[in-house]
Amino acid sequence: MSKRTAESRVATDYRLSRRQFLIATGATIAAAACATPPAGQGAPTGGAPLGTVKLSAWTIGPDAPSYYRRDNLVAAADKLNAKLGSGTNVQVDATFESGGQWGDYLQKFTLAAEAKTSPDIILAGHENFAPWVGPGYIVPLDDLIAKYQSEGDVKDVIPTLWTAMKLKGKTYGIPQDTEARPMYYRKDLLAKMGWSKDMIERLPDAVKNGEFAWPDLVLWAKEAISKGLVEPGKGWYSRPSKGADIYMFYYQNGGEMQDNATAKLVITKDALQKHFQVHADAVLNDKIMTKTIYGMDAGKEWHPTVTDGKVLFYNAGTWTWKDWQATYKVAEQSLWDNVGFMLIPAAKRGGKPVTVSHPLAYAVTSNAKDKDLAFRLIANATTPDLNSKHSVTSAHLAVLTTQKDDPTYKQDKFLLATQYMLDYTKFIPNHPKFGIYDDVLYRFLGAVEQGQNTPAQAVDGAVKELQGQLGDELIVR
């Protein structure tokens, strides 16, 4: 039997009569009609599966003023379900994890990802995504962003924030919040040193315009100490522990952390030495900052001291504005009356001031069974109303251009007054070995502040150590 003959027989066996064809067609149309929900109830869109879909999400916390990191995902499920219609019901199991401890949180996710038990959605700092991309713990979102352009308000994310979400040209996160890290100052202490009310109120602009630079800040801190307004060592308090804030003084002096072309880590020797010098001068020479700042207990000592009005200048995040009210029971009006905020002054007059932001972002994990739905949930949590709730509650800045018009956001004068800082902001790099880089620089900073190394020695030591540890992943300039 030839091939042709066999095919002819199969075709003959399955030939339909006109009656059979009409019956089959009618039945198909009827079945399709029955499966389609009535107009108005909405059909599942974007190929969403029918029935109940459970999505899990981890967010860090509980972090007293930042509970909307979790709650916004839950609220977004309602928005998403309304769009999906009755055919699909998304249920969200969003949890706080690790009691706010970043190290534990990240480790827990890593282990869960390897065990294929990670949640569908993970919230993390943008730089945390870098080590997760190699083993594929999270997935790139570019296709999903393109596919669901009209979902939520992802299209309105402030453009500069996308920089922090990218690694090797691909986008791995949707910004959940961001912030700036201002230099706070005591208005009451400046007034006691003879500053007029107008001068005090104009200080942020003077910093912005480069009229008030770092040497001016040091000068006034020394003045406050010499006049007995603050104790020695309390002219300026920097961050007492590891964190992105440290790099503001490196950036202030022209430092670079990552090469745009190669994505390699960069160390700028001259800027690093100036960064170390700022701290050496503050602690050892000018004595405007206490030697005990390194490792000082933030909760028990740093915050109580600054909220008591005992320090003239102190840099911290925008979120601490709300934290001081919630945790340290400082009345908001008292803060407005006595505390001002400005960018980190430029290294020299006429220079550009700086701050650092550390956006947190939602990512879709490779373990997510329905990545489309996980992304759509995130997209629906990225709206002016939900993001503004988080911003206002926790003093985090807007991540959407449209938030400035949101009624909730518009009522918060602190956020409005600090939003401009994002125009001056820098980020820490997205690189899988950034942790090594950070550890070395932080230890040498401690050595400088403790007088174990001079700034020049610390630069030599840090560069040598970084070269030994990072090899060709480091560019020295």
Partner 1 sequence: MARTEAVALRREATAAAWWRINATALLFMGPALLLVLVFFLAPVVITFTMSLTDLATSTGLSNWQWIGLENFARIFRSQFWLTILGNTVVYVAVVLAFNVLVGLGVALLTMHMEPKAGGVFRALWLLPRISPSVVYALLWVWAAASPPFGMLNYIVAPFGLEQRFWLQSDPWLIVILINGFVGASFGMLIFTSAIKAIPEDLFRAARVDGASALQIVRRITLPLIKWPILFVLVYQTMSLFASYEYIYLTTNGGPGLYATETWSLWAFHTALSNYYGNLEFAYGAAMSAILVLMGLAISIVLLRVFRFGQLVAEPRVEVE
Q: What residues line the site for partner 1 (CB under 8 A)?
A: 102-103, 106-107, 110, 113-114, 124-125, 127-128, 130-137, 242, 290-292, 294-297, 300-301, 432-436, 438-439, 443-444, 446-447, 449-450, 452-453, 461, 464-465, 468-469
Instruction: Please say which residue, 300 or 329, places its beta carbon nearer to partner 1.
Output: 300
Nearer Cβ to partner 1 (36/107): 107
CB of 234 to partner 1, least distance (A): 12
468: DSSP letter: H
The distance of closest approach from Cβ of residue 212 to partner 1 in the complex, given in angstroms and rounded to an integer, is 30
Q: Is 157 or 428 the residue whose CB approaches partner 1 more closely? A: 428
Cβ(178)–Cβ(397) under 8 Å? yes
Q: Evaluate whether 468 touches 440 at the Cβ level (below 8 Å).
A: no
Q: Which is nearer to partner 1, 107 or 226 (CB)?
A: 107
Q: Following DSSP, what letter does each residue of 244-271 receive, concatenated?
A: GGGGHHHHHTT---B-TTT--EEE-HHH
Say if CB 73 and CB 59 are below 8 A apart. yes
In angstroms, what is the minimal distance from the CB of 147 to partner 1?
Answer: 27
CB-CB contact of 343 with 183 (8 Å)? yes
DSSP 371-401: HHHHHHHHHHH-SHHHHHHHHHHHTPBPSBG
Tell me how far, at minimum, the Cβ of 296 lies from partner 1, in Å: 6
Task: Verify cis geometry, omega within 30 degrees of 0, for the bond prior to 62.
Answer: yes
Nearer to partner 1, 105 or 324 (CB): 105
Query: Measured from the CB atom, is 152 or 235 closer to partner 1?
Result: 235
Give the Cα separation of 272 and 458 in Å (integer).
9
Instruction: Tell me the closest approach of the beta carbon of residue 58 to partner 1, in angstroms.
Output: 13
Name which of 297 and 405 has its Cβ closer to partner 1. 297
Residue 241 CB, nearest distance to partner 1 (Å)? 9
A 10 A CB-CB count for 26 gives 10
Return the closest-CA partner of residue 55 out of 383, 386, 376. Answer: 376
Min dist CB 60 to partner 1, Å, is 12
Residue with tokens 């602690």: 283
